[in-house]
């Protein structure tokens, strides 16, 4: 069974010889441009011989020109629609085109984006995000709607290049945001983006980020796959989510331990993760980004243990 067939069978709810496996972390080479990033990503994929590839995306949402911080209602109004191919995202598109050529008929890849609220928070509003939600909620919602529109255009371009799905990271944990603010500011624009691309990618994935998650509030996202820190102290488990969705789950590997445990431990960890994931609708992967300074033999051990599970 080749990489593409294995993934397709999982997406179709069919049993496979073993679960498809991948791992990811941030390379930190966004200063070097799309071609260099693409070459590193391709070498990474080939070295570990993953079944599918999650493409990282460290090109931040472009802020309004000349605006160093979003702090006021007027600042929020400066967030407008723009050409997604005429900003730093052009480097990601360049990388995706390279990967589309390199992985054609070999393996699927999915592209990473950050939800509208997180896109605003990361490098534009930053430390001002809480005050903006409290003091300027209507302007916040209007800005988030515009950001969602721009992200939809980005996602459509990515999918047209050859991406098999969009992997959207979204904050949905009480350790990160209140449930009230999640339901008001995070969920609606996320739903808007996923709804717009629902029929365009077979591997659209919701990465539910946080430790103590509002999982009951995300189960209605129109996606093919859910990914979260399932091996974390508060879960929920892979099985709990599978019982509540029609799609697939992605996880089984605790990203916190990949660079901190022995290969013997990791072999057992993989076996446990595969058992937790079950024989269908399961992709083996980390629950979130692992450490960049990971030990290559340890990561290879994870892949090899997954492959041996099918023999």
**Domains along the chain?**
3-308 (3.20.20.210)
Q: Burial level of 163, CB count in 10 A (0-12/13-18/19+)?
A: buried
Distance CA 76, CA 89 (A): 21
Q: State the Cα–Cα distance between residues 310 and 308, nearest whole angstrom.
A: 5
Q: Tell me the β-bridge partners of 226.
A: 206, 249
Token pair for 182: 């999640």
Mean pLDDT of 76-94: 97
pLDDT at 41: 98
Looking at residue 277, what is its pLDDT?
98
Residue 310: the pLDDT is 80
pLDDT band at 311 (very low <50, low <70, confident <90, very high): low
Does this model's pTM top 0.95? Answer: yes
Residue 101 and residue 155 in contact, taking contact as beta carbons nearer than 8 Å: no
Q: What is the arithmetic mean of pLDDT over 79-96? A: 97
Asked if residues 253 and 23 have their Cβ atoms less than 8 Å apart, the reply is: yes
Token output for 259: 């660079």
Q: Are 61 and 115 in contact (CB under 8 A)?
A: no
Encode pLDDT of 257-297 as tens digits. 999 999 999 999 999 999 999 999 999 999 999 999 999 99
Residue 103 has pLDDT above 90, yes or no: yes
């Amino acid at each position: 069974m080749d990489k593409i067939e294995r993934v397709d069978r999982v997406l179709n709810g069919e049993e496979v010889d073993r679960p498809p496996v991948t791992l990811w972390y941030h390379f930190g080479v966004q200063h070097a441009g799309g071609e260099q990033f693409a070459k590193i990503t391709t070498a990474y994929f080939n070295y570990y011989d993953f079944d599918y590839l999650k493409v990282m995306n460290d090109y931040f949402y472009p802020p309004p020109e000349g605006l160093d911080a979003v702090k006021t209602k007027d600042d929020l109004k400066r967030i407008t629609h723009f050409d997604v191919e005429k900003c730093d995202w052009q480097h990601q598109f360049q990388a995706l085109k390279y990967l589309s050529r390199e992985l054609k008929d070999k393996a699927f890849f999915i592209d990473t984006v950050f939800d509208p609220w997180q896109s605003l928070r990361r490098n534009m509003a930053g430390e001002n995000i809480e005050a903006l939600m409290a003091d300027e909620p209507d302007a916040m919602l209007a800005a988030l709607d515009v950001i969602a529109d721009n992200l939809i255009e980005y996602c459509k371009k990515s999918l047209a290049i050859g991406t098999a799905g969009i992997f959207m990271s979204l904050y949905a944990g009480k350790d990160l945001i209140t449930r009230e603010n999640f339901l008001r500011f995070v969920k609606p624009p996320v739903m808007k983006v996923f709804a717009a691309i629902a029929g365009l990618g077979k591997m659209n994935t919701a990465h539910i980020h946080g430790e103590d998650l509002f999982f009951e509030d995300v189960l209605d996202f129109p996606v093919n796959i859910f990914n979260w820190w399932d091996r974390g102290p508060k879960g929920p488990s892979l099985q709990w989510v599978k019982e509540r969705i029609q799609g697939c789950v992605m996880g089984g590997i605790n990203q916190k331990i990949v660079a901190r445990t022995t290969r013997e431990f990791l072999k057992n960890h993989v076996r446990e993760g595969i058992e937790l994931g079950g024989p269908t609708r399961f992709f083996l992967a980390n629950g979130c980004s692992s450490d960049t300074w990971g030990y290559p033999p340890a990561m290879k051990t994870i892949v090899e243990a997954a492959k041996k599970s099918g023999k």
